[in-house]
Amino acid sequence: MAGRAGALAGWAALAAVGLVCLAPLLALLAQPGNWPGAYGWSVLRFTLMQAALSALISVALAVPLAGALVHRQFRGKATAIALLGAPFLLPVVVAIFGLLAVWGRSGWVSDLLGTPIDIYGLKGILLVHVFFNLPLATRLVLQGWAMVPPEQLRLGAQLGMGWRGQWQVFGAPILRATLPGAFLVVFLFCITSFAAALILGGGPKATTVELAIYQALRLEFDLGAAARLALVQLALCLAVGLIALRLVRPVQFGAGLALQPIALPRPKMLVWLDWMILVLAAGFIGLPILAIALRGLVGLGDMPASILPALARSIGVALGSGLLATMAALALAGLITRLRQGLARGVELGVMLALAASPFVLGTGLFILFNPILDPSDVALPLTALVNAVLILPLLLRLFMPALAQIKADYGRLAQMCGLAGFAQFRFVTLPLLARPLGLGMGLAVALSMGDLGVITLFASPDAGTLPMVMHRLMGSYQTAAAAGAGLVLVTATLGLFYVFDKMGARLGHRI
């Protein structure tokens, strides 16, 4: 794609990912410790089970939701699709309180039904995970739909293709191309779940590996055991990843990265179903967010003055991290599209595993590595941006790769013939055509970095810190209303940034 320099950038990005993920782990593995025993294995089993279930449900529900979005037209559809990114970007604790406001024992649903409903336990964990990941999975499936060339859709409409034909020609191939990847992404995100699983889990039955690692690191100071646990988890994720990626069948569609407003014929019953699905989804996703807004508005007045500088700092770090992640993901995606099949799959899987890296292990390991050399607070900032970027990279990769492959397939020859190679090709062909997924990717990266990824709490600097930190501190000092207000500010800023970048991408991008 972009010549030798591009390939080099790709390898450099890969090396950075590997280093950031593995070096801390190795640092901790060097410490003596026990391999997980019976307790550790039962925790691992539970973690894998809840992650797999969450992923299955999210992905299964994403299919009809994506279908409904594709087939139905309504005002504000583009905004609705953009906002599908929203739940995923919410800070976990904020989202949980929002969900509880709706589904909790004193929530709206309980009030409606007259009796308290109990979502604590596995169902609570699944609820949170599906809330976070269903919209994301839907967006990934929609990306598959967006790659269908409009001519084919028009043809389908013209032929009056029934649902069976549509399934064979569009549905099945799209799902084969997007679902395994979507499943893997959601699965890996749910693996490292900490607060979500714990607060709604109901008790120690719902212990995840992250808690076990947290305990080992913080309370028992058993670094070796924590690292070994993390390693076993990584190995299991690797196995799952291998299976999932093997199931991916890349689609040989023609062009298109934006959703086309084409109306394929749809039986009356399915139309009703579509609308019902859309309403239900809007409620499921929108109500908790509304609750967050309401709670937050109440507390806005109580916020301390340090909110604004904290917000500014958060935005600064997030922008840096987002830029880093986007550039690295682009370089990596470019690299992978040039590699041979086997090696490409391997590299892709390796990067995806960054999602399964334990933030606690990473943070502690990095601390150990840096402490002898430098004062950790000196490197806190660049390290934060770097680690955040690495953790977000896999998701961006999933976004960029199909798009890059598409561009190469469509315009590779034309560019070669015109002598557009190396940087010129990158600048005049790849970048403009990639604008849409780039905008989305940058938006996701910046927004995710705004929330606290919990890695570098050890590197705290002697000052007020970032917005999630301020929010956490407020919560820890009885000031729940102010914390809710801070949460609202954080959420608004996060979503705002995401929306800006996503929109920019859509504006600058081309319906190619």
Partner 1 sequence: MCLIRWGRALDIVFEGARIRAGGFEVLADATLPGGQITALIGPSGAGKSTLLAAIAGFAPLAAGGLLVGGQNMAGLPPAQRPVSLVFQDHNLFEHLSIAANTALGLSADPRSKTTEARDKVAAALGRVGLADKAQSMPGELSGGQRSRAALARALLRDRPVFLLDEPFAALGPGLRHAMLDLVAEISAERRLTTLLVTHQPDDAVRIAQMTALVAQGKLHAPQSTQALFSNPPDALSDYLGK
Partner 2 sequence: MNNRLTLAAALVIATGAASADTPELVVYTYDSFAAEWGPGPAIKASFEAECACTLTFVPAGDGAEVLSRLRLEGARSDADVVVGLDSSLIPQANDAGLFAPHGQDMAGLTLPISWDDATYLPFDWGYLAFVFDQTRLANPPASLEELARGDVSVIIQDPRSSTPGLGLVLWAKAVFGDEAHQFWDAFADQIVTVTPGWSEAYGLFLEGEAEMVLSYTTSPAYHIIAEGDDTKAAARFAEGHYMQIELAAQLAGSDQPALAAAFLAHLISPAVQDIIPTSNWMYPAAQSAALPDGFVAAPDEALLMPTDWVAANRDLAIDEWLAALAR
- Does 507 engage in binding with partner 1 (CB under 8 A)? no
- Does 260 engage in binding with partner 2 (CB under 8 A)? no
List 384, 425, 430, 494, residue binding partner 2 (CB under 8 A): 384
Q: What is the dihedral of CA 50, 51, 55, 61, to 10 degrees?
A: 30
- Which residues make Cβ contacts (< 8 Å) with residue 482, sequence separation at least 6? 299, 302, 303, 304, 474
CA distance 273 to 34: 53
The site partner of 314 among partner 1, partner 2, none (C-beta below 5 to 8 Å per kind) is: partner 2
- Does 377 engage in binding with partner 2 (CB under 8 A)? yes
Residue carrying the six token digits 């739940």:
87
- Does 76 engage in binding with partner 2 (CB under 8 A)? no
CB of 483 to partner 2, least distance (A): 7
Q: How far is CA 467 from CA 313, 317, 453, 471, 483, in A?
A: 8, 11, 12, 6, 10
CA distance 378 to 383: 9
- Does 498 engage in binding with partner 1 (CB under 8 A)? no
CB of 435 to partner 1, least distance (A): 8
> How many chain residues touch partner 1 (CB under 8 A)?
19
Other CB atoms within 10 Å distance of the CB of residue 120: 18
CB of 509 to partner 1, least distance (A): 8
Q: Which two tokens stand for residue 163?
A: 């649902």
- Does 475 engage in binding with partner 2 (CB under 8 A)? yes
The site partner of 204 among partner 2, partner 1, none (C-beta below 5 to 8 Å per kind) is: partner 2
If we measure between CA atoms, which residue out of 244, 388, 248, 253 comes closest to residue 314? 388
CA distance 49 to 54: 8
Distance of CA 48 to the CA centre of its chain: 18
DSSP for 147-184 reads: TS-HHHHHHHHHHT--HHHHIIIIIHHHHHHHHHHHHH
The site partner of 428 among partner 1, partner 2, none (C-beta below 5 to 8 Å per kind) is: partner 1
Which range binds partner 1 by CB under 8 A, 45-53, 91-99, 303-311, 414-422?
414-422
CA distance 283 to 289: 10
List 215, 293, 499, 503, residue binding partner 2 (CB under 8 A): 215
CA distance 444 to 392: 8
CB of 1 to partner 2, least distance (A): 33
Binders of partner 2 among 449-468, rule CB under 8 A?
452-453, 456-466, 468
The SS3 call for residue 314 is helix
List 9, 59, 100, 174, residue binding partner 2 (CB under 8 A): 100
CA distance 368 to 52: 33
According to DSSP, residue 390 is labeled H
Binders of partner 2 among 120-159, rule CB under 8 A?
120, 124
- Does 494 engage in binding with partner 2 (CB under 8 A)? no
- Does 414 engage in binding with partner 1 (CB under 8 A)? yes
Site map for partner 1, 372-401, x if CB under 8 A? ------------------------------
CB of 431 to partner 1, least distance (A): 10
- Does 473 engage in binding with partner 2 (CB under 8 A)? yes
CA distance 174 to 14: 28
The CA-to-CA distance between both ends of the chain, in Å, stands at 17
Question: Nearer Cβ to partner 2, position 118 or 151?
Answer: 118
According to DSSP, residue 420 is labeled -
CB of 259 to partner 1, least distance (A): 16
- Does 413 engage in binding with partner 1 (CB under 8 A)? yes
Q: What is the dihedral of CA 379, 215, 34, 208, to 10 degrees?
A: -100
List 130, 182, 317, 495, residue binding partner 2 (CB under 8 A): 317
List 3, 18, 149, 202, residue binding partner 2 (CB under 8 A): 202
The site partner of 472 among partner 1, partner 2, none (C-beta below 5 to 8 Å per kind) is: partner 2
Site map for partner 1, 431-470, x if CB under 8 A? -xx-------------------------------------
Which residues make up the interface to partner 1 (CB under 8 A)?
255, 410-411, 413-414, 416-421, 424, 428-429, 432-433, 510-512
